[in-house]
Amino acid sequence: MQDSFIYAKERWDKIHKSADFKIGELVLVSTLNFNNIRGSKKLKYSFAGPFMIKALHGPNAVQLELTGELMKKHPAFPVIMIKPYSSSDKYLFPLRDKPPLEIPSGRRRRKENCKIP
């Protein structure tokens, strides 16, 4: 029995990484359990934010500085519902802007020298 517990702990530790959040860091909050924001469940965003971390409550919970629609929610969230915010700034990623692709017109011209047997 003890061997199975050790094996399960090793597997868990191998797959799951502990989140290292710091006070003042920007994060996104999962909206999976929020039923009363942004109307339709199908159209709502999967993450809301960015929000700043105001306090850490041990290794498994953070307190956020909420704004907008989430101000009425309790500000403490488990780490599972949080993911780090990464901005997509043009200056950080200058090669992302690519020219638009040319779409050929739907009409094709038949080659004059091509004969179909």
Q: What is the DSSP letter of 115?
A: -
- Cα Rg of the chain (Å, integer): 25
- pTM, full prediction: 0.63
What's the pLDDT at 95?
Answer: 66
The size of the chain, in residues, is 117
pLDDT score of 112: 62
Domains of the chain, each with CATH number or no CATH: 16-86 (2.30.30)
For residue 40, what pLDDT is reported? 78
| Rounded Cα distance, 33 and 11, in Å | 28
Ranges of residues in the chain with a pLDDT under 50 are none
The alpha carbon of 21 is separated from its chain's Cα centroid by a whole number of angstroms, namely 16
